[in-house]
Structure 1
């Protein structure tokens, strides 16, 4: 028996109303809305920062010299940009809109170029944004943050007497000595291979052991000839020492106090941006920082979520701010350290994976400092610490 016009009309009205109501019902069930995203990533693949004395290769063998982004690094950042575009396709506009996103970078060539390559993947021009049909790319501003003016993205900072004192205490601490002891003979062997004075390599904060490992790592990626002593086992052990070096800078001993003088500065900037986004309904939806592995290491150790591994090229730390259906704001943290796997979710110790903004602020309060310069002067000491060389 056929439907009456009234029945068909009623059914049409029912489904029409359902179509209008369902999205709101679904949003209510899900109970949350993404409000703001903050991204911090390490630059892409680069040439070595410097080489050890007996290195088989010198700076002239690298197309752009030391510490520069390579084509592999450009590809890594382009891929990360594409990933971010896909992840936030329902949040940020497909086309670049300057009021929606701000990109900041440290002052090094590799981080600035990484941001540019990332943006090429994130915002390829379309429609009236295409200014040259032969180049599917558009210029997007990358704002440089000089370390001298704002040190939030460059760690470690050695111009802090209190931190230098803590670092010396770390090197003498039982915790550090217990970790370094198994490597003592190995370090002597590496000293003889690399041409460094053994007394130089024992201080991990001067980055010399780090540069031996890093140089060999860069050369292996780009198929440069390695010295016969640089076996896979040797390089693996050097990587372990590099992790220990990073940990000694920001953790192992008096982690919380170190965080107040190092990564805590970035945590404070992140918290301020998330809190501002929660209070205001601004047009800006995303803030991006292009930085270094030490930036990520300092940040993750300050938050006590470090995984005891070196952050790979184009590793990406994500903070997402949500508004729940009860009006409360929560923060979720993710770390992407692999291009073919989903990011792993990180949980701030003492909180849930979706951490209320107020609870997040309470938990990180011990590592926030209001007057950094003054706190650096407290109980400071002399002593010479090697200059930082960002990786």
Structure 2
């Protein structure tokens, strides 16, 4: 009896990941995985006034604007299965890295506070850990009760306030980003682009056709709605909007793609205004918080594993898998930060539904240095593609971690992002004002003494 109990205890420990051997590729050992994905297929988040398909046209996912569709749920179910095949210890996965049965110490799922990203995360976890036959046990991992889906293991999805989520939501409340964007639009490059005949023609034609004017930052509403309506109402769309043609739609998309690039600070040449590199400052606001959140966690993992006298390591020691369930712009922010925006695919110049960029942290046992591997899942149905060597400073599948650190350092906001977003003046002037304020505080305290 004791022998049987011991065997069961060992087996139980094994399937829950306690005895998973290290994942190695020659001298490299996998230590942690970060995944940034876009939600699945959804309804439009809004539309133009003259659109025949208003909010009551969208009934799936609870109905209304911006809701995940059954197709979007399935896309993430499939991505979850692909991630399981890559990382979960099933004996035949690419890397037997995560336990076969969900272990809360090994993974953390963070989502923006929007229905479609929360449900995408749930759908993804259903594919990764929630299927019957995955090894979970009724009564331990899920209720052994009539009515509970067999094998479904609920996994917590953590979230924060959407408007102040500067890591996952690239359109969070941030006055500095709006101020920089207004400056950018006054640059010679953007004014020349905006007044070019091709761009002016698209704006003028669209305004006349739908009787609505557009700011650059709101222009995306039209191509986004039209893209989704072609999926769900293609024939009716063309019947009701006789002006809609594939050629005009492609012109609209091309304009929107360029706006998107400008918003992320991608200019043909350096734009300097008020002593600021506007492109860099926009990227610091949009990409900086996420890139630094990832690299800080990787560095903490490394320090807790390989340095002595580190504190606060209990949580990070067990953590292997961290997810950001977010948006097209979140995935795009990683690609732009690494100089890989060219991999954002058509028909839009940004990642499509369930696109995912993966940053794998590896440790070299020979030189005792940290490395990373960049992996991309372009869209639903695709496999994972290693694209580390597409980064300018990297020439192999594995790249030195200091390359990623330098990217994060370059894009790090000058102050904590919730404070930096409130600064609508140049970084230099802000630093001077802070120094002067600190000086006044010191003098004040001196006289109090």
Normalised to the residue count of structure 1, the TM-score between the two structures is 0.83
**2:280 matched residue in structure 1:** 256
Tell me the residue number matched to 1:186.
Answer: 202
Q: Deviations over 1:155-193 (max 9, x none)?
A: 1345233x3332123223233345442221122111122
Which residue in 2 is equivalent to 1:114? 120
What are structure 1's unaligned runs of at least 5 residues?
Answer: 1-22, 382-391
Matched, 1:297 2:332: yes
Contact kept in structure 1, 2:112 and 2:118, CA below 8 Å: yes
Cross-structure match for 1:104: 110
Structure 1 residues 47 and 269, CA gap change in structure 2 (3 angstroms):
same
Give 1:333-352 correspondences, 5 Å limit.
333-338=374-379, 339-346=381-388, 347-352=390-395
The Cα shift of 1:350 comes to 2.7
Alignment partner of 2:124: what SS?
helix
User: Distance between the aligned counterparts of 1:157 and 1:149, measured in 2?
Assistant: 5
1:93 is aligned to 2:133: no
1:191-245 CA distance string (max 9 Å, x none): 1222212xxx2x311x2x2111111111111135212222111222222222122
SS of residue in 1 equivalent to 2:387: strand
- Partner Cα distance (1:189, 1:40) in 2: 37
Change (3 A) 1:108 1:176: same
Paired positions, count: 350
Partner of 2:361: 321
RMSD: 2.4
Partner of 1:358: 402
Matched ranges for 1:182-261 at <5 A: 182-197=198-213, 201=214, 203-205=215-217, 207=218, 209-223=219-233, 225-226=236-237, 227-253=241-267, 254-261=278-285
Structure 1 distance, partners of 2:410, 2:136, is 49
Moved more, 79-88 or 220-229: 220-229
Contact persistence 1:115–1:142 (CA under 8 A): yes
Tell me if the contact between 1:194 and 1:212 (Cα under 8 Å) persists in the aligned partners. Answer: no
Quick one: higher RCO (CA 8 Å, sep 6+), 1 or 2? 1
Deviations 1:236-290 (A, max 9, x none): 2222222122212112343222122221111110111111222234111100010
- State the alpha-carbon separation in 1 of the partners of residues 97 and 222 from structure 2: 43
SS state at 2:362 partner: strand
Shifted more, 313-322 versus 57-66: the winner is 57-66
Q: Which residue of 2 aligns with 1:153?
A: 168
Aligned: 1:379 with 2:425: yes
How far apart are 1:358 and its partner, in Å?
Answer: 2.7
- Residues 44 and 225, structure 2, Cα contact 8 Å, conserved in 1: yes
Verify the 8 A CA contact 1:81 1:119 in the aligned structure 2.
yes
* 1:85-137: CA deviation from partner (whole Å, max 9, x where unpaired): 11113111121111111000000000000000010001125341353576242
The secondary structure found in structure 2 opposite 1:73 is helix
1:176 aligns with 2:190: yes
Instruction: Give the C-alpha shift of residue 302 in structure 1.
Output: 2.7
Mapped to 1, the partners of 2:99 and 2:394 lie a distance apart of 32
Shift of 1:363: 3.8
CA contact (8 A) 2:36 2:326 kept: yes
Match in the other structure for 2:154: 139
Gaps of at least 5 residues in structure 2 are 1-20, 89-95, 268-277, 306-316, 428-449
SS of 1:269's equivalent?
A: helix
Residue 434 of structure 2: aligned partner: none
Contact 2:360 2:374 in 1 (8 A): yes
Q: Tell me the distance in 2 between the aligned counterparts of 1:43 and 1:49.
A: 13
Which of residues 33, 43, 46 in structure 1 aligns to 2:29?
Answer: 33
Contact 1:255/1:301, CA 8 A, preserved across alignment: no
2:50 aligned to 51, 54, 61, which one? Answer: 54
Shift of residue 150 of structure 1? Answer: 4.1
